[in-house]
Chain A
Amino acid sequence: MSPRSSAIERLASPRPRPVEVLAWLLPALAFFLVPDNLALGVSIMTYAVAVLALDLVLGYAGIVSLGHAAFFGVGAYTAGLLAVQGWKEPLTGMLLAGAVSLALGFLASFLVVRGKDLTRLMVTLGIGLVVYELANRLSSVTGGMDGLSGFEIGPIFGVFSFDLYGRTAWWYVYGVLILVFVLLRLVVSSPFGLSLRAIREGVSRMPALGASVDHRLRTAFTLSAGVTGIAGGLLAQTTQFVGIDSLSVGRSADFLVMLVLGGTGRLYGALIGTTVFMIAHDYLADMNPVYWEFWMGLLLMAVVLFARGGVVGAGRRLLQTVKTKFARAAP
Protein backbone atom coordinates (compact mmCIF):
# COMPACT_ATOMS: atom_id res chain seq x y z
CA MET A 1 0.00 0.00 0.00
CA SER A 2 1.45 3.36 -0.89
CA PRO A 3 1.88 5.79 1.98
CA ARG A 4 -0.40 8.21 0.23
CA SER A 5 -3.35 5.86 0.01
CA SER A 6 -2.97 4.86 3.64
CA ALA A 7 -2.95 8.49 4.66
CA ILE A 8 -6.18 9.00 2.77
CA GLU A 9 -7.74 5.95 4.36
CA ARG A 10 -7.45 7.62 7.72
CA LEU A 11 -9.26 10.77 6.64
CA ALA A 12 -6.11 12.65 7.52
CA SER A 13 -7.34 15.71 5.70
CA PRO A 14 -10.56 17.41 6.64
CA ARG A 15 -11.09 18.38 2.99
CA PRO A 16 -13.74 16.23 1.31
CA ARG A 17 -12.83 14.48 -1.94
CA PRO A 18 -15.26 14.55 -4.88
CA VAL A 19 -16.11 10.86 -4.43
CA GLU A 20 -17.15 11.60 -0.86
CA VAL A 21 -19.46 14.39 -1.93
CA LEU A 22 -21.05 11.98 -4.41
CA ALA A 23 -21.39 9.32 -1.70
CA TRP A 24 -23.22 11.82 0.47
CA LEU A 25 -25.75 12.30 -2.32
CA LEU A 26 -26.71 8.62 -2.14
CA PRO A 27 -29.11 9.10 0.76
CA ALA A 28 -30.79 11.90 -1.18
CA LEU A 29 -31.13 9.50 -4.10
CA ALA A 30 -32.72 6.95 -1.77
CA PHE A 31 -35.25 9.58 -0.73
CA PHE A 32 -36.58 9.70 -4.26
CA LEU A 33 -36.11 6.03 -5.17
CA VAL A 34 -37.67 4.50 -2.04
CA PRO A 35 -40.23 7.10 -1.04
CA ASP A 36 -42.50 4.61 0.72
CA ASN A 37 -39.92 3.57 3.30
CA LEU A 38 -38.64 6.90 4.58
CA ALA A 39 -39.05 5.82 8.21
CA LEU A 40 -36.28 3.26 7.81
CA GLY A 41 -34.03 5.94 6.30
CA VAL A 42 -34.76 8.29 9.18
CA SER A 43 -33.88 5.69 11.79
CA ILE A 44 -30.73 4.62 9.94
CA MET A 45 -29.50 8.20 9.87
CA THR A 46 -30.53 8.82 13.48
CA TYR A 47 -28.60 5.80 14.72
CA ALA A 48 -25.72 6.71 12.44
CA VAL A 49 -25.29 9.94 14.43
CA ALA A 50 -24.98 7.90 17.64
CA VAL A 51 -22.63 5.35 16.10
CA LEU A 52 -20.41 8.11 14.69
CA ALA A 53 -20.16 9.46 18.23
CA LEU A 54 -19.27 6.00 19.51
CA ASP A 55 -16.54 5.76 16.88
CA LEU A 56 -14.87 8.83 18.37
CA VAL A 57 -14.66 7.06 21.72
CA LEU A 58 -13.93 3.51 20.53
CA GLY A 59 -12.25 3.92 17.16
CA TYR A 60 -10.13 6.93 18.04
CA ALA A 61 -9.77 7.12 21.82
CA GLY A 62 -9.82 3.33 22.24
CA ILE A 63 -12.41 3.23 25.03
CA VAL A 64 -14.95 0.42 24.72
CA SER A 65 -18.26 1.77 25.97
CA LEU A 66 -21.24 -0.41 26.79
CA GLY A 67 -23.10 2.55 28.22
CA HIS A 68 -23.67 4.91 25.33
CA ALA A 69 -27.39 4.22 25.34
CA ALA A 70 -27.45 6.17 28.61
CA PHE A 71 -26.51 9.32 26.70
CA PHE A 72 -28.74 8.39 23.80
CA GLY A 73 -31.73 7.82 26.07
CA VAL A 74 -31.08 10.90 28.19
CA GLY A 75 -31.02 12.95 25.00
CA ALA A 76 -34.26 11.32 23.87
CA TYR A 77 -35.99 11.96 27.20
CA THR A 78 -34.71 15.53 27.29
CA ALA A 79 -36.16 16.29 23.86
CA GLY A 80 -39.35 14.40 24.70
CA LEU A 81 -39.86 16.06 28.07
CA LEU A 82 -39.19 19.51 26.63
CA ALA A 83 -41.93 18.88 24.07
CA VAL A 84 -44.27 17.56 26.76
CA GLN A 85 -43.69 20.78 28.70
CA GLY A 86 -44.55 22.79 25.61
CA TRP A 87 -41.07 23.50 24.22
CA LYS A 88 -41.91 22.42 20.69
CA GLU A 89 -39.12 24.11 18.70
CA PRO A 90 -37.10 21.18 17.31
CA LEU A 91 -33.61 22.67 16.77
CA THR A 92 -33.22 24.08 20.26
CA GLY A 93 -34.83 20.93 21.64
CA MET A 94 -32.23 18.81 19.89
CA LEU A 95 -29.36 21.03 21.02
CA LEU A 96 -30.59 20.97 24.61
CA ALA A 97 -30.81 17.18 24.40
CA GLY A 98 -27.18 17.20 23.32
CA ALA A 99 -26.24 19.64 26.09
CA VAL A 100 -27.80 17.53 28.85
CA SER A 101 -26.06 14.40 27.58
CA LEU A 102 -22.85 16.36 27.25
CA ALA A 103 -23.06 17.37 30.90
CA LEU A 104 -23.80 13.80 31.96
CA GLY A 105 -20.96 12.57 29.78
CA PHE A 106 -18.60 15.09 31.36
CA LEU A 107 -19.42 13.79 34.84
CA ALA A 108 -19.20 10.17 33.70
CA SER A 109 -15.87 10.77 31.95
CA PHE A 110 -14.06 11.21 35.26
CA LEU A 111 -15.06 7.68 36.22
CA VAL A 112 -14.47 6.21 32.78
CA VAL A 113 -10.86 7.32 32.31
CA ARG A 114 -9.82 5.77 35.59
CA GLY A 115 -8.55 2.25 35.15
CA LYS A 116 -7.92 0.25 32.01
CA ASP A 117 -9.93 -1.60 29.38
CA LEU A 118 -12.02 -4.00 31.48
CA THR A 119 -12.57 -1.42 34.23
CA ARG A 120 -13.74 1.08 31.64
CA LEU A 121 -16.08 -1.44 30.06
CA MET A 122 -17.60 -2.18 33.46
CA VAL A 123 -17.88 1.50 34.43
CA THR A 124 -19.71 2.35 31.21
CA LEU A 125 -21.94 -0.68 31.66
CA GLY A 126 -22.63 0.45 35.23
CA ILE A 127 -23.54 3.96 34.07
CA GLY A 128 -25.94 2.45 31.54
CA LEU A 129 -27.63 0.28 34.18
CA VAL A 130 -27.90 3.10 36.72
CA VAL A 131 -29.46 5.54 34.27
CA TYR A 132 -31.86 2.88 32.98
CA GLU A 133 -33.14 2.03 36.44
CA LEU A 134 -33.40 5.70 37.39
CA ALA A 135 -35.66 6.29 34.40
CA ASN A 136 -37.63 3.19 35.32
CA ARG A 137 -38.06 4.36 38.92
CA LEU A 138 -39.00 7.93 38.01
CA SER A 139 -41.99 6.71 36.02
CA SER A 140 -44.05 9.77 36.95
CA VAL A 141 -41.64 11.83 34.84
CA THR A 142 -40.45 9.35 32.23
CA GLY A 143 -43.56 7.22 31.82
CA GLY A 144 -41.58 4.21 33.03
CA MET A 145 -42.11 1.08 30.95
CA ASP A 146 -44.86 2.76 28.93
CA GLY A 147 -42.49 5.38 27.67
CA LEU A 148 -43.13 8.98 26.82
CA SER A 149 -45.68 9.80 24.16
CA GLY A 150 -48.42 12.19 23.20
CA PHE A 151 -46.18 15.16 22.52
CA GLU A 152 -45.91 17.23 19.39
CA ILE A 153 -42.92 18.82 17.73
CA GLY A 154 -43.20 22.21 16.09
CA PRO A 155 -42.13 22.98 12.53
CA ILE A 156 -38.45 23.29 11.66
CA PHE A 157 -37.40 26.93 11.25
CA GLY A 158 -41.06 27.60 12.03
CA VAL A 159 -41.87 26.55 8.46
CA PHE A 160 -41.48 22.83 7.77
CA SER A 161 -43.96 20.78 9.79
CA PHE A 162 -43.32 17.13 10.51
CA ASP A 163 -45.57 15.10 8.25
CA LEU A 164 -47.04 11.63 8.46
CA TYR A 165 -44.74 10.20 5.78
CA GLY A 166 -41.56 11.37 7.47
CA ARG A 167 -40.44 13.65 4.62
CA THR A 168 -39.56 16.58 6.87
CA ALA A 169 -38.05 14.23 9.44
CA TRP A 170 -35.94 12.72 6.68
CA TRP A 171 -34.38 15.99 5.55
CA TYR A 172 -34.01 17.16 9.14
CA VAL A 173 -32.04 14.09 10.20
CA TYR A 174 -30.07 14.05 6.95
CA GLY A 175 -28.98 17.63 7.60
CA VAL A 176 -27.98 16.94 11.20
CA LEU A 177 -26.09 13.80 10.15
CA ILE A 178 -24.05 15.79 7.64
CA LEU A 179 -23.26 18.48 10.19
CA VAL A 180 -22.25 15.93 12.82
CA PHE A 181 -20.08 14.10 10.31
CA VAL A 182 -18.31 17.31 9.29
CA LEU A 183 -17.79 18.23 12.94
CA LEU A 184 -16.34 14.84 13.84
CA ARG A 185 -14.24 14.82 10.70
CA LEU A 186 -12.70 18.11 11.77
CA VAL A 187 -12.15 16.78 15.28
CA VAL A 188 -10.44 13.54 14.24
CA SER A 189 -8.17 15.25 11.74
CA SER A 190 -7.18 18.00 14.19
CA PRO A 191 -4.06 17.68 16.33
CA PHE A 192 -6.41 16.73 19.16
CA GLY A 193 -7.86 13.87 17.11
CA LEU A 194 -4.41 12.71 16.06
CA SER A 195 -3.28 12.77 19.67
CA LEU A 196 -6.15 10.43 20.53
CA ARG A 197 -4.72 7.94 18.04
CA ALA A 198 -1.27 8.49 19.44
CA ILE A 199 -2.57 7.90 22.97
CA ARG A 200 -4.16 4.65 21.85
CA GLU A 201 -0.93 3.51 20.27
CA GLY A 202 1.49 4.67 22.94
CA VAL A 203 -0.16 5.84 26.10
CA SER A 204 3.09 6.03 28.01
CA ARG A 205 4.67 8.26 25.38
CA MET A 206 2.12 11.03 25.20
CA PRO A 207 2.46 12.55 28.68
CA ALA A 208 6.20 12.90 28.10
CA LEU A 209 5.34 14.98 25.04
CA GLY A 210 3.18 17.30 27.07
CA ALA A 211 -0.24 15.80 26.52
CA SER A 212 -2.40 15.00 29.51
CA VAL A 213 -3.88 11.65 28.52
CA ASP A 214 -6.74 11.74 31.00
CA HIS A 215 -7.77 15.21 29.97
CA ARG A 216 -7.90 14.32 26.29
CA LEU A 217 -9.78 11.09 26.84
CA ARG A 218 -12.28 12.93 29.02
CA THR A 219 -12.77 15.54 26.32
CA ALA A 220 -13.36 12.87 23.67
CA PHE A 221 -15.79 10.99 25.89
CA THR A 222 -17.72 14.15 26.80
CA LEU A 223 -18.00 15.24 23.17
CA SER A 224 -19.12 11.78 22.16
CA ALA A 225 -21.79 11.75 24.87
CA GLY A 226 -23.11 15.10 23.67
CA VAL A 227 -23.38 13.95 20.06
CA THR A 228 -25.04 10.72 21.17
CA GLY A 229 -27.57 12.85 23.06
CA ILE A 230 -28.32 14.74 19.85
CA ALA A 231 -29.06 11.39 18.18
CA GLY A 232 -31.42 10.54 21.03
CA GLY A 233 -33.11 13.91 20.65
CA LEU A 234 -33.60 13.24 16.95
CA LEU A 235 -35.19 9.88 17.70
CA ALA A 236 -37.65 11.42 20.15
CA GLN A 237 -38.55 14.25 17.79
CA THR A 238 -38.95 12.18 14.64
CA THR A 239 -40.90 9.31 16.23
CA GLN A 240 -42.66 11.46 18.83
CA PHE A 241 -42.15 8.67 21.28
CA VAL A 242 -39.44 7.76 23.80
CA GLY A 243 -39.29 4.15 24.98
CA ILE A 244 -37.26 3.11 27.99
CA ASP A 245 -35.40 0.64 25.80
CA SER A 246 -33.62 3.65 24.29
CA LEU A 247 -31.61 3.58 27.55
CA SER A 248 -31.06 -0.17 27.64
CA VAL A 249 -27.78 -2.02 27.61
CA GLY A 250 -29.15 -3.89 24.61
CA ARG A 251 -29.23 -0.57 22.74
CA SER A 252 -25.63 0.14 23.76
CA ALA A 253 -24.67 -3.28 22.44
CA ASP A 254 -26.49 -2.55 19.17
CA PHE A 255 -24.41 0.61 18.73
CA LEU A 256 -21.23 -1.39 19.28
CA VAL A 257 -22.32 -4.06 16.81
CA MET A 258 -23.18 -1.46 14.16
CA LEU A 259 -19.78 0.15 14.57
CA VAL A 260 -17.83 -3.09 14.50
CA LEU A 261 -19.80 -4.34 11.47
CA GLY A 262 -18.80 -1.25 9.54
CA GLY A 263 -15.30 -0.91 10.95
CA THR A 264 -13.91 1.26 13.73
CA GLY A 265 -11.77 4.37 13.53
CA ARG A 266 -12.83 5.52 10.06
CA LEU A 267 -16.13 7.39 10.60
CA TYR A 268 -17.44 5.92 7.34
CA GLY A 269 -17.45 2.53 9.04
CA ALA A 270 -20.03 3.91 11.45
CA LEU A 271 -22.26 5.02 8.57
CA ILE A 272 -21.97 1.80 6.61
CA GLY A 273 -22.23 -0.45 9.66
CA THR A 274 -25.41 1.30 10.81
CA THR A 275 -26.92 0.97 7.34
CA VAL A 276 -26.03 -2.72 7.05
CA PHE A 277 -27.32 -3.45 10.55
CA MET A 278 -30.60 -1.60 10.15
CA ILE A 279 -31.38 -3.00 6.72
CA ALA A 280 -30.45 -6.51 7.82
CA HIS A 281 -32.59 -6.02 10.90
CA ASP A 282 -35.50 -4.83 8.79
CA TYR A 283 -35.15 -7.73 6.38
CA LEU A 284 -34.51 -10.44 8.97
CA ALA A 285 -37.25 -9.26 11.29
CA ASP A 286 -39.61 -9.36 8.30
CA MET A 287 -38.73 -12.98 7.67
CA ASN A 288 -38.87 -13.98 11.30
CA PRO A 289 -39.82 -11.38 13.89
CA VAL A 290 -38.79 -13.57 16.83
CA TYR A 291 -35.48 -15.12 15.90
CA TRP A 292 -33.90 -12.42 13.75
CA GLU A 293 -31.01 -11.93 16.18
CA PHE A 294 -29.80 -15.44 15.35
CA TRP A 295 -28.78 -14.29 11.88
CA MET A 296 -27.41 -11.01 13.20
CA GLY A 297 -25.20 -13.02 15.55
CA LEU A 298 -23.88 -15.11 12.68
CA LEU A 299 -23.22 -12.02 10.59
CA LEU A 300 -21.36 -10.35 13.45
CA MET A 301 -19.12 -13.36 14.02
CA ALA A 302 -18.44 -13.70 10.32
CA VAL A 303 -17.38 -10.07 10.10
CA VAL A 304 -15.07 -10.02 13.10
CA LEU A 305 -13.52 -13.39 12.25
CA PHE A 306 -13.17 -13.09 8.48
CA ALA A 307 -13.47 -9.42 7.57
CA ARG A 308 -10.99 -7.52 9.72
CA GLY A 309 -11.84 -3.84 9.85
CA GLY A 310 -15.51 -4.52 9.19
CA VAL A 311 -17.27 -3.97 5.90
CA VAL A 312 -15.14 -0.91 5.09
CA GLY A 313 -11.87 -2.66 5.92
CA ALA A 314 -12.75 -5.75 3.89
CA GLY A 315 -14.00 -3.68 0.96
CA ARG A 316 -10.83 -1.64 0.92
CA ARG A 317 -8.66 -4.75 0.88
CA LEU A 318 -10.73 -6.23 -1.93
CA LEU A 319 -10.35 -3.03 -3.93
CA GLN A 320 -6.60 -3.06 -3.29
CA THR A 321 -6.31 -6.66 -4.51
CA VAL A 322 -8.25 -5.90 -7.69
CA LYS A 323 -6.09 -2.84 -8.34
CA THR A 324 -2.89 -4.81 -7.88
CA LYS A 325 -4.12 -7.53 -10.25
CA PHE A 326 -5.01 -4.88 -12.81
CA ALA A 327 -1.66 -3.20 -12.47
CA ARG A 328 0.05 -6.54 -13.05
CA ALA A 329 -2.11 -7.40 -16.02
CA ALA A 330 -1.47 -4.07 -17.69
CA PRO A 331 1.95 -3.82 -19.36
Chain B
Amino acid sequence: MADLLKIEGLCSGYGQARVLDNISFSMRAGESLALLGRNGVGKSTLMRTLMGLTVRHSGSVRFAGIDLSNAPPHRRARAGLGWVPQERAMFPSLTVEEHLTTVARDGPWNLAAIYDVFPRLRERRSNLGNQLSGGEQQMVAIARALVTNPRLLLLDEPMEGLAPIIVQELAAVVGRLIREAGLSVIVVEQHARLALSMTARAIVLNRGQIVHESSSQELLDDGAKLGRLVAVA
Protein backbone atom coordinates (compact mmCIF):
# COMPACT_ATOMS: atom_id res chain seq x y z
CA MET B 1 0.00 0.00 0.00
CA ALA B 2 1.25 3.47 -0.86
CA ASP B 3 2.44 5.76 1.89
CA LEU B 4 0.02 8.36 3.18
CA LEU B 5 2.80 10.59 4.41
CA LYS B 6 6.39 10.48 3.25
CA ILE B 7 8.98 12.88 4.60
CA GLU B 8 12.50 12.83 3.17
CA GLY B 9 15.57 14.72 4.37
CA LEU B 10 13.46 17.43 5.91
CA CYS B 11 15.32 20.38 7.45
CA SER B 12 13.35 23.33 8.73
CA GLY B 13 13.17 26.01 11.36
CA TYR B 14 12.34 29.64 11.95
CA GLY B 15 14.14 32.12 9.71
CA GLN B 16 17.80 31.13 9.50
CA ALA B 17 17.63 29.08 12.70
CA ARG B 18 17.44 25.37 11.99
CA VAL B 19 15.38 23.23 14.35
CA LEU B 20 14.79 20.02 12.40
CA ASP B 21 17.75 18.25 10.89
CA ASN B 22 17.37 15.67 8.15
CA ILE B 23 14.09 14.07 9.23
CA SER B 24 12.86 11.12 7.17
CA PHE B 25 9.95 8.81 7.91
CA SER B 26 6.76 7.60 6.35
CA MET B 27 3.30 6.54 7.46
CA ARG B 28 0.61 4.38 5.89
CA ALA B 29 -3.09 5.14 6.01
CA GLY B 30 -4.65 4.06 9.28
CA GLU B 31 -1.36 4.10 11.13
CA SER B 32 -0.86 5.87 14.43
CA LEU B 33 2.39 7.41 15.51
CA ALA B 34 3.62 8.79 18.83
CA LEU B 35 6.14 11.59 18.46
CA LEU B 36 8.19 11.76 21.64
CA GLY B 37 11.14 13.58 23.06
CA ARG B 38 12.15 16.08 25.72
CA ASN B 39 11.10 19.70 25.65
CA GLY B 40 12.50 21.74 22.80
CA VAL B 41 13.71 18.88 20.60
CA GLY B 42 11.52 19.95 17.67
CA LYS B 43 8.30 17.95 18.06
CA SER B 44 5.97 20.91 17.66
CA THR B 45 8.23 22.32 14.96
CA LEU B 46 7.77 19.10 13.00
CA MET B 47 3.99 19.48 13.26
CA ARG B 48 4.20 23.11 12.22
CA THR B 49 6.50 22.18 9.35
CA LEU B 50 3.95 19.65 8.13
CA MET B 51 1.37 22.47 8.14
CA GLY B 52 3.72 24.84 6.30
CA LEU B 53 4.07 27.25 9.20
CA THR B 54 7.88 27.18 9.41
CA VAL B 55 10.69 27.89 6.98
CA ARG B 56 11.67 24.74 5.10
CA HIS B 57 15.38 24.69 4.32
CA SER B 58 15.50 21.43 2.37
CA GLY B 59 13.84 18.06 1.99
CA SER B 60 10.35 17.13 0.89
CA VAL B 61 6.89 16.39 2.27
CA ARG B 62 4.62 14.17 0.21
CA PHE B 63 1.08 13.53 1.38
CA ALA B 64 -1.49 11.30 -0.30
CA GLY B 65 0.61 11.29 -3.44
CA ILE B 66 0.90 15.09 -3.64
CA ASP B 67 4.09 17.06 -3.11
CA LEU B 68 3.21 19.57 -0.40
CA SER B 69 6.75 20.81 0.19
CA ASN B 70 5.95 24.29 -1.03
CA ALA B 71 2.19 24.37 -0.46
CA PRO B 72 0.67 27.15 1.66
CA PRO B 73 -1.06 26.06 4.89
CA HIS B 74 -4.63 26.17 3.56
CA ARG B 75 -3.71 23.83 0.67
CA ARG B 76 -2.19 21.36 3.11
CA ALA B 77 -5.33 21.45 5.23
CA ARG B 78 -7.46 20.84 2.16
CA ALA B 79 -5.20 17.99 1.10
CA GLY B 80 -6.23 16.30 4.35
CA LEU B 81 -3.94 17.40 7.16
CA GLY B 82 -5.91 18.25 10.30
CA TRP B 83 -3.80 20.12 12.83
CA VAL B 84 -4.75 20.54 16.48
CA PRO B 85 -2.33 23.18 17.76
CA GLN B 86 -0.88 23.06 21.23
CA GLU B 87 -2.27 26.47 22.13
CA ARG B 88 -5.85 25.43 21.16
CA ALA B 89 -6.61 28.96 19.99
CA MET B 90 -10.35 29.33 20.32
CA PHE B 91 -12.17 32.07 18.45
CA PRO B 92 -13.59 34.08 21.37
CA SER B 93 -16.68 35.37 19.57
CA LEU B 94 -17.77 32.12 17.92
CA THR B 95 -19.92 29.55 19.65
CA VAL B 96 -18.82 25.94 19.90
CA GLU B 97 -21.13 24.97 17.08
CA GLU B 98 -19.92 27.85 14.92
CA HIS B 99 -16.32 26.73 15.46
CA LEU B 100 -17.35 23.49 13.85
CA THR B 101 -19.59 24.69 11.03
CA THR B 102 -17.24 27.45 9.88
CA VAL B 103 -14.48 25.16 8.68
CA ALA B 104 -16.49 22.00 7.99
CA ARG B 105 -15.95 20.04 4.81
CA ASP B 106 -17.99 17.13 3.51
CA GLY B 107 -17.26 13.73 4.96
CA PRO B 108 -18.21 11.32 7.71
CA TRP B 109 -17.24 13.80 10.45
CA ASN B 110 -20.32 15.97 10.55
CA LEU B 111 -21.86 17.65 13.60
CA ALA B 112 -23.83 14.57 14.60
CA ALA B 113 -20.72 12.38 14.54
CA ILE B 114 -18.78 14.98 16.55
CA TYR B 115 -21.50 15.25 19.20
CA ASP B 116 -21.58 11.49 19.36
CA VAL B 117 -17.89 11.40 20.27
CA PHE B 118 -17.97 14.54 22.42
CA PRO B 119 -21.40 14.68 24.11
CA ARG B 120 -20.07 17.53 26.25
CA LEU B 121 -19.79 19.74 23.18
CA ARG B 122 -23.45 19.20 22.39
CA GLU B 123 -24.30 20.59 25.83
CA ARG B 124 -21.98 23.53 25.27
CA ARG B 125 -22.91 24.14 21.65
CA SER B 126 -24.03 27.76 22.13
CA ASN B 127 -21.22 28.76 24.48
CA LEU B 128 -18.60 31.11 23.16
CA GLY B 129 -15.00 30.08 22.66
CA ASN B 130 -13.86 32.05 25.70
CA GLN B 131 -16.47 30.53 27.99
CA LEU B 132 -15.02 27.03 27.96
CA SER B 133 -12.83 25.09 30.36
CA GLY B 134 -9.42 23.91 29.22
CA GLY B 135 -10.69 20.41 28.56
CA GLU B 136 -13.66 21.67 26.58
CA GLN B 137 -11.39 23.93 24.56
CA GLN B 138 -9.24 20.93 23.72
CA MET B 139 -12.33 18.99 22.63
CA VAL B 140 -13.35 21.89 20.40
CA ALA B 141 -9.82 22.08 18.98
CA ILE B 142 -9.89 18.37 18.12
CA ALA B 143 -13.45 18.54 16.81
CA ARG B 144 -12.62 21.60 14.72
CA ALA B 145 -9.87 19.61 13.02
CA LEU B 146 -12.13 16.55 12.62
CA VAL B 147 -14.92 18.43 10.81
CA THR B 148 -12.43 19.27 8.07
CA ASN B 149 -12.48 15.47 7.56
CA PRO B 150 -8.72 15.04 7.58
CA ARG B 151 -6.87 11.95 6.39
CA LEU B 152 -4.19 12.54 8.99
CA LEU B 153 -4.80 14.15 12.36
CA LEU B 154 -1.89 16.00 14.00
CA LEU B 155 -2.36 16.30 17.75
CA ASP B 156 0.12 18.59 19.48
CA GLU B 157 0.20 17.91 23.23
CA PRO B 158 -3.56 17.47 23.55
CA MET B 159 -3.36 16.63 27.26
CA GLU B 160 -1.22 19.56 28.33
CA GLY B 161 -2.48 21.37 31.40
CA LEU B 162 -5.61 19.27 31.80
CA ALA B 163 -6.92 17.64 34.97
CA PRO B 164 -6.18 13.87 35.22
CA ILE B 165 -9.85 12.93 34.85
CA ILE B 166 -10.13 14.97 31.65
CA VAL B 167 -6.90 13.45 30.37
CA GLN B 168 -8.43 9.98 30.79
CA GLU B 169 -11.60 11.02 29.01
CA LEU B 170 -9.72 12.56 26.09
CA ALA B 171 -7.27 9.66 25.84
CA ALA B 172 -10.22 7.30 25.55
CA VAL B 173 -11.65 9.39 22.73
CA VAL B 174 -8.36 9.59 20.86
CA GLY B 175 -7.94 5.84 21.31
CA ARG B 176 -11.39 5.31 19.81
CA LEU B 177 -10.56 7.56 16.87
CA ILE B 178 -7.50 5.45 16.13
CA ARG B 179 -8.88 1.97 16.74
CA GLU B 180 -12.53 2.26 15.72
CA ALA B 181 -12.60 5.12 13.22
CA GLY B 182 -9.31 4.01 11.69
CA LEU B 183 -8.01 7.55 11.57
CA SER B 184 -4.33 8.15 10.90
CA VAL B 185 -2.90 10.14 13.78
CA ILE B 186 0.39 11.65 14.90
CA VAL B 187 0.40 12.47 18.61
CA VAL B 188 2.98 14.68 20.24
CA GLU B 189 2.78 14.14 23.97
CA GLN B 190 4.72 14.78 27.17
CA HIS B 191 2.91 11.88 28.83
CA ALA B 192 5.02 9.35 26.92
CA ARG B 193 3.35 6.24 28.29
CA LEU B 194 -0.10 7.57 27.54
CA ALA B 195 0.89 8.37 23.95
CA LEU B 196 2.50 4.96 23.52
CA SER B 197 -0.58 3.21 24.83
CA MET B 198 -2.71 4.89 22.18
CA THR B 199 -0.45 4.35 19.18
CA ALA B 200 1.17 1.57 17.18
CA ARG B 201 4.48 3.18 16.30
CA ALA B 202 6.80 5.62 18.01
CA ILE B 203 9.47 8.05 16.91
CA VAL B 204 11.74 9.81 19.38
CA LEU B 205 13.38 13.11 18.51
CA ASN B 206 16.44 14.65 20.05
CA ARG B 207 17.97 17.95 18.98
CA GLY B 208 15.97 17.95 15.79
CA GLN B 209 16.93 14.45 14.71
CA ILE B 210 15.23 11.08 14.88
CA VAL B 211 17.13 9.05 17.48
CA HIS B 212 14.78 6.10 17.84
CA GLU B 213 12.05 4.43 15.83
CA SER B 214 10.16 1.30 16.88
CA SER B 215 6.77 -0.06 17.75
CA SER B 216 5.08 1.69 20.65
CA GLN B 217 4.86 -1.59 22.53
CA GLU B 218 8.63 -2.05 22.42
CA LEU B 219 9.20 1.25 24.18
CA LEU B 220 6.43 0.56 26.67
CA ASP B 221 8.10 -2.76 27.55
CA ASP B 222 11.59 -1.33 27.86
CA GLY B 223 11.14 1.26 30.60
CA ALA B 224 14.86 1.89 30.97
CA LYS B 225 15.24 2.76 27.32
CA LEU B 226 12.17 4.95 27.39
CA GLY B 227 13.56 6.75 30.42
CA ARG B 228 16.84 7.37 28.60
CA LEU B 229 15.15 8.70 25.47
CA VAL B 230 12.52 10.86 27.09
CA ALA B 231 11.98 12.26 30.54
CA VAL B 232 9.06 10.06 31.48
CA ALA B 233 6.26 11.99 33.09
Contacts and interface: CB of A to CB of B under 8 A. Distances in A.
Interface of A: 3-4, 6-7, 10, 12, 191, 194-195, 197-198, 201-202, 204-213
A208 B93 contact: no
B4 interface: no
Contacts, number: 74
Contact of A201 (B85, B91, B144): B91
Specify the main secondary structure of chain A where it touches its partner: helix
Interface string B73-96: 110111000010100010111110
Contact of B93 (A197, A205, A210): A197
A212 B74 contact: yes
A208 B85 contact: yes
Contacts of A4: 126
Interface string B93-106: 11100110111110
Categorize the interface residue count of chain B. Answer: 20 to 34
B83 A208 contact: yes
A211 B93 contact: no
Given A191-B101, A191-B102, A208-B85, A197 B91 contact: yes
B128 interface: yes
Nearest to A210: B77
A170 to B, nearest CB: 36
Contacts of B101: 191, 194
Contact of B74 (A10, A12, A211): A211
Contacts of B83: 208-209
B103 A3 contact: no
A210 B78 contact: yes
B53 interface: yes
A84 B103 CA distance: 47
Q: Which of A197, A208, A209, A211 has the most CB of B within 10 A?
A: A208
A201 B126 contact: no
A12 B148 contact: no
A69 B148 CA distance: 39
Interface in B136-150: 144-145, 148
B160 to A, nearest CB: 17
B131 to A, nearest CB: 6
A208 B53 contact: yes
Contacts of B128: 3, 6-7
Contact of B91 (A6, A198, A213): A198
B22 interface: no
B51 interface: yes
Contacts of B127: 3
A60 B167 CA distance: 36
11 contacts: A3-B127, A7-B126, A191-B101, A197-B93, A198-B94, A198-B103, A208-B85, A209-B74, A209-B144, A210-B78, A212-B72
